[in-house]
Structure 1
Amino acid sequence: MNRESYRKVIDNLTPRADFRVIARWVEPGSNVLDLGCGDGSLLALLGEELDVHGYGIEINDAGVLEAARKGVHVIQQNLEDGLRLFEDQSFDLAILSQTLQTIHQTAAILRETVRVAKEAIVSFPNFGYWPHRMSILGGRMPVSKTLPYQWYNTPNVRVLTIRDFEALAPEAGVRILDRAVLHNGVTISWGHNWRGSLAVYRVTRAP
């Protein structure tokens, strides 16, 4: 099966828009590290459809158990402790799929991500999306498809916009290679920071 056929299969298999974008940027047979892998769904998909060799890192007990049941090689670890287990450029690709906003040491994790892998993919909900702004103007924290939690039970410890990430990237030693901004799975071609609810970036270590 050629790469375009892989893309079509993945588009049909996964309902998560960021997973579809991520899969299009993954080379078949590559060595992948999924940081905050949750239940292992992404790595299981990439392993089945793109024959990647992957490891996941997850702190949640239920996530670790479910990932293992899917056949994913998973390490239970808190990302806040860093990635000292891995040497420089140990992986072809590292993935932070809607994980960045749950981390306190944001810049440090970004630096580590591009240290251990030749490239990385980062996705996050965009707090600058216009209905989120309207919620704040109305005096309430936003709740949406990409930010589905109430303020008191959210796992998110950071809120960031597309512009915030692009300002942080060079400070964290990260060079942006590509970007996809989405809403409901549709690519946003203009007004990214207020029309897009989800951002996905392909990045590498800055020279």
Structure 2
Amino acid sequence: MPLRPDLALIAAHVAPGSRVLDVGCGDGTLMAALRDERGCDARGLELDAHNVAECVGRGLSAIQGDADTDLELYPDASFDYAILSQTLQTTKHPDRVLDELLRIGRRAFVSFPNFAHWRVRLSLLRYGRMPVTKLLPMEWYETPNIHHLSVADFRDFVAKRDIRVEGAWFLSKGVLTSESLANIRAEHAVFLLTRG
């Protein structure tokens, strides 16, 4: 099964042989690719018990846990990369979760849907309701997203916290788009972050 575009981008930028923690790992698709194609020691933390069982059934190392409360159990710098793919906006305390990612991982990948994308803006303007799109397919009352953010919001957030952006990629319809006007043109953003 091919990787989702943001996951493929992350996998391509993880150094072979790295120790990786995938927070919110889902069914383990990214972990399997990192293990099989990059020779990584990939571990997962996942809230949904069914997804954890799928990971274990695929021979992957995953435990059930919550990014908001369980990252503090990991020792400092225990991973080369900590990955939070399309999960930041679902956490209760994204600032604390990001701090924990950068404490336990030397680098952190964070990807999220850009709620300032032009289609989202147009839908809000046209209908006056929270948009339902192909990439945000749930009604407002069903969605796990509790913190809606944009590329500009995230850039401000990391700048205020002295977090260094090592890389940034922007996707529209699953294809890389330029950084120019990413806040309005990108449907998804992927950032590679480090401290200091």
Residue 54 of structure 1: which of 33, 42, 66 is its match?
42
- Does 2:28 align with 1:40? yes
Aligned equivalents of 1:68, 1:125: Cα separation in 2: 28
Residue 162 of structure 1: which of 146, 151, 175 is its match?
151
Q: Give TM-score, length-normalised by structure 2.
A: 0.95
Q: Residues 162, 117 of structure 1: CA spacing in aligned structure 2 closer, same or farther, 3 A cutoff?
A: same
- Does 2:186 align with 1:196? yes
- More displaced stretch, 170-179 vs 108-117: 170-179
Q: Percent identity among equivalent residues?
A: 43
2:3/2:29 contact within 8 Å kept: no
2:3/2:30 contact within 8 Å kept: no
Partner of 1:184: 173
- Does 2:60 align with 1:72? yes
What is the identity, as a one-letter code, of the residue corresponding to 1:193?
N
Aligned-residue CA RMSD (Å):
1.2
- Does 2:104 align with 1:116? yes
Q: Give TM-score, length-normalised by structure 1.
A: 0.90
1:37 aligned counterpart, secondary structure:
coil
Partner of 2:124: 136
Aligned equivalents of 1:91, 1:145: Cα separation in 2: 34
- More displaced stretch, 75-84 vs 155-164: 75-84
Aligned equivalents of 1:161, 1:122: Cα separation in 2: 13
Off by >4 Å, runs of 4+ in structure 1: none
Aligned equivalents of 2:139, 2:97: Cα separation in 1: 25
What is the identity, as a one-letter code, of the residue corresponding to 2:135?
T
Residue 97 of structure 1: which of 85, 91, 96 is its match?
85
Q: Which runs of 5+ in 1 are unaligned?
A: 1-12
Q: Which runs of 5+ in 2 are unaligned?
A: none
Aligned equivalents of 1:181, 1:193: Cα separation in 2: 9
Residue 63 of structure 1: which of 51, 55, 73 is its match?
51
